[in-house]
A and B are shown apart, each in its own frame.
Chain A
């Protein structure tokens, strides 16, 4: 069963990450890279991707005169996707356990970020309830 683990944050959250020390960022990334390695070894890894800063985000709605209508103004409370992991696991519980590991990745001073990770099934599940 494929699940996507979504890490989201607001603009102020992204700004505070940019203010971390290089050492804190390196420790954080080392744990995430370790998780990817473990998932690759266990055969559960499908894909992972980080997204660029929310400043570069645009929302597109329809077209006017053949051109897309873009908007880049978002409320402060808007949650932006920071990155995701796609895993192929045996149970939803396993997907949640992996999300829990990601949530323990260290933040400033080595304290776990405790970031909320949204766990979502892919729509192709035959067992999915409509």
Chain B
């Protein structure tokens, strides 16, 4: 079963992250690299990506002639996807355990970041929606 593990954050959280010391950032990045390697070694790894800053995000809607209408104004409360992992786990419980490992990754001063990680099954096909 494939699951996506999503790390979301608000703009204020990103601003906070930008202020971390180099040491804190390096510790966090080292953890993420070791974590990806562990997932690969254990055979559950499918994909991972980190996303660019919310300041570069745009919302696109189609105009009346199908032309893209872009907007980059978001409410302060909006959650942005910071990055994700797709894992092929035996069960939802195994996916939750993997998510907890990410959540426990080091934050400022080496303390656990305790970031919330959203865990969702990935659709094999549209039929999985039961439609």
Contact B120 A81 (CB under 8 A): yes
Contacts of B103 in A (CB 8 A): 60-63, 68
Verify if A76 is at the interface (C-beta below 8 Å from B): no
A90: Cβ under 8 A from any B Cβ:
no
Residues of A within 8 A of B80 (CB): 120
Partner pick for B60 among A61, A83, A100, A112, CB 8 A cutoff: A100
For the complex, is B97 an interface residue (Cβ under 8 Å from A)? yes
Decide yes or no whether B49 CB sits under 8 A from chain A. yes
B96 touches A51 (CB 8 A): no
Cβ-defined contact, A59 with B120, below 8 A: no
Instruction: Tell me which residues across on chain A come within 8 A of B53, comparing CB atoms.
Output: 128-130
Which chain B residues border A112 with CB–CB below 8 Å?
Answer: 62
Q: State whether A60 and B99 are in contact (beta carbons under 8 Å apart), knowing that A51-B123, A114-B61, A129-B56 are contacts in the complex.
A: yes
Tell yes or no: B59 within 8 A of A by CB: yes
Count B interface residues, CB 8 Å: 51
In whole angstroms, how far apart are the Cα atoms of A109 and B74 in the complex? 30
The reply to whether B6 and A122 contact each other, CB–CB distance below 8 Å, is no
Do B60 and A57 touch (CB < 8 A)?
no
Q: Mark A24-60, 1 if CB is under 8 A from B, else 0.
A: 0100010000000000000000010111111011111
The reply on A23 being an interface residue by CB < 8 A is no
Report yes or no: A62 in contact with B122, Cβ–Cβ below 8 A. Answer: no
A99 to B55 CA separation, bound complex (whole angstroms): 18
Complex CA distance for A83 and B51, rounded to whole angstroms: 16
Known: A81-B81, A96-B60. A57 touches B129 (CB 8 A): no
List the A side residues contacting B116 at CB < 8 Å: 59-61
Chain A, range 70-87, C-beta contacts under 8 Å to B = 70, 78-81, 83, 86
Q: List 22 A-B contacts (CB under 8 A).
A: A49-B4, A49-B123, A52-B129, A54-B120, A56-B121, A57-B119, A60-B5, A60-B99, A60-B100, A60-B117, A60-B119, A62-B103, A63-B103, A68-B103, A81-B4, A86-B49, A100-B66, A104-B62, A112-B62, A119-B57, A120-B81, A122-B51
